[in-house]
Amino acid sequence: MCMKKILTLAVLFLTIFIEQVQGQQDAQYTQYMYNTISVNPAYAGSRGVLSIMGLHRSQWVGLDGAPRTQTLTLNTPIGDSERLGLGLSIVNDEIGPTDETFIGVDFSYTIPTSEYGKLSFGLKGGAHLLNVDFQELTQFNQNDALFENNIDNKFSPQVGIGVYYHTDKFYLGLSAPNLLETDHFDESTTSSSSEAVSFLAEERINYYLIAGHVFNITDDLKFKPALLSKLVFGAPLQVDVSANFLLYERLTLGVAYRWSAAVTGQVAFQISDSMMIGFAYDRETTELGQSQFNDGSYEVMLRFELFKKYNRMLTPRFF
């Protein structure tokens, strides 16, 4: 078996058919600062406009079965009070033989805490659909009963919560997009040695902490450090830190570091008052990044916004 297939099977084994002591994680994003609604329902409506965002991520390009994620989100305030927010997120996540679709609806309620600060509480409800095509795997034992039946559109509900505080210059959020731990795959069979074999892919709670601050360096230059931390019991702690610079309210340039995992370059451009495009490239700092089959990870993002109270957004929001 060639090295490429061996790497593929190793990735699939670690990410799909994990033992019960390990946890399945949500889709990963580098441009998380533009995709907050996917991880925190309290963000819904916080921009004060109808915001629509599409994102595509190809991870570990060149590696067979590597993850690919497509995300479509929208969120908007409801009514003129700006206290109620509504959001929708659709995420399709593919890795190896698995295809997962997440559909979530978000509601938020915002309380003004000062002249500049707002505290929002969010609730997410949704559905998860799982497909697994075992025929795409290279099986050592073609007669293994464990892989005889595919998983087709297995449904599981999702319920999540979040809290989000922000001003025009600062934000801080805590959330758990899904509080329900679901067993997506739990089958047992008997091997040739008459020993029971069982695999389990279990949905674990993903806890998120997000934070960021905008500093005005000059009239034409802003600096925003940001943080995303994700905790899943049974999996390594993920910490992403980024530093972005906004020039002339149009061009954003930045770098990021995923703790013990990857370094990233980011660029975004405000095409018009209502449209923004972004691109990010990750390079793994682990041994996987040195593989000749891994050309890094890519993200492309497009955001479109419709303004309700003004003909244009007076100052483009940095988050």
Q: Is residue 300 part of a domain?
A: yes
Closest by Cα among 111, 114, 109, 129 to 41: 109
Tens-place pLDDT, residues 17-40: 333 334 446 788 889 889 899 999
Label residue 197 by pLDDT band (50, 70, 90): very low
Q: Is residue 191 part of a domain?
A: no
Instruction: Report whether 258 contacts 264 (CB < 8 A).
Output: yes
* Section 230-239 average pLDDT: 88
- How many structural domains compose the chain? 1
Q: What is the pLDDT of residue 266?
A: 96
> Bridge partners of 223?
215, 245
Q: Is residue 319 part of a domain?
A: no
Q: Is residue 257 part of a domain?
A: yes
Q: What is the pLDDT of residue 195?
A: 46
Q: Is residue 13 part of a domain?
A: no
Q: What is the pLDDT of residue 14?
A: 40
Give the integer Cα–Cα distance in Å for 131 and 137. 14
Label residue 301 by pLDDT band (50, 70, 90): very high
- Burial code (b: 16+ CB inside 10 Å, e: under 16) for 175-207 equals bbbbeeebebbeeeeeeeeeeeeebbbbbbebe
Instruction: Report the C-alpha dihedral over residues 41, 46, 51, 52, rounded to 10 degrees.
Output: -20
Beta-carbon contacts of 212 under 8 Å, excluding residues fewer than 6 positions away, are: 33, 170, 171, 224, 225, 226, 227, 319
- In CATH, what number is assigned to the domain containing residue 150? 2.40.160.40
- What residues make up the domain containing 213? 28-178+203-306
Report the alpha-carbon angle 109-111-112, nearest 5: 145
Q: What is the pLDDT of residue 185?
A: 55
Q: What is the pLDDT of residue 191?
A: 44
End-to-end alpha carbon distance in the chain: 47
Label residue 73 by pLDDT band (50, 70, 90): very high
Q: What is the pLDDT of residue 290?
A: 65
> Is pLDDT of 15 > 50?
no
Q: What is the pLDDT of residue 62?
A: 77
* Section 151-170 average pLDDT: 92
Q: What is the pLDDT of residue 117?
A: 94
Q: What is the pLDDT of residue 233?
A: 85
Express as a percent the part of the chain with pLDDT over 90.
51
Q: Is residue 195 part of a domain?
A: no
Q: Is residue 295 part of a domain?
A: yes
Tens-place pLDDT, residues 112-156: 999 889 999 999 999 999 888 877 666 666 666 566 677 788 888
> Is pLDDT of 183 > 50?
yes
Q: What is the pLDDT of residue 314?
A: 43
Q: What is the pLDDT of residue 201?
A: 57
Token pair in block for residue 296:
């890094």
Give the integer Cα–Cα distance in Å for 262 and 280. 12
Q: Is residue 3 part of a domain?
A: no
> Bridge partners of 106?
87, 124
DSSP secondary structure of the chain: --HHHHHHHHHHHHHTS--TTS-BPPPP-S-GGG-GGGT-GGGTTTTSSEEEEEEEEE-STTSTT--EEEEEEEEEEESSSS-EEEEEEEEEEEETTEEEEEEEEEEEEEEE-SSS-EEEEEEEEEEEEEEE-GGGS--S-TT-GGGSS-EEEEEEEEEEEEEEEE-SSEEEEEEES-----EEEEEEEE-TTS-EEEEEEEB-PPEEEEEEE-EEEETTEEEEEEEEEEE-TTS--EEEEEEEEEETTTEEEEEEEETTTEEEEEEEEE-SSSEEEEEEEEEE-SGGGG-TT---EEEEEEEEEE-SSSSS-SS----
Tens-place pLDDT, residues 40-65: 999 999 998 999 999 999 988 877 78
Q: Beta-carbon neighbour count of residue 129 at 10 Å?
A: 15
Label residue 194 by pLDDT band (50, 70, 90): very low
> Is pLDDT of 3 > 70?
no
Instruction: Report whether 71 contacts 89 (CB < 8 A).
Output: yes
Q: Comparing 83-92, 134-143, 181-190, which segment has the lowest mean pLDDT?
A: 181-190
Give the integer Cα–Cα distance in Å for 34 and 74. 11
Instruction: Report whether 275 contacts 304 (CB < 8 A).
Output: yes
* Section 65-71 average pLDDT: 90
Closest by Cα among 303, 300, 316, 307 to 248: 316
Q: What is the average pLDDT value for the chain, to the nearest integer?
A: 82
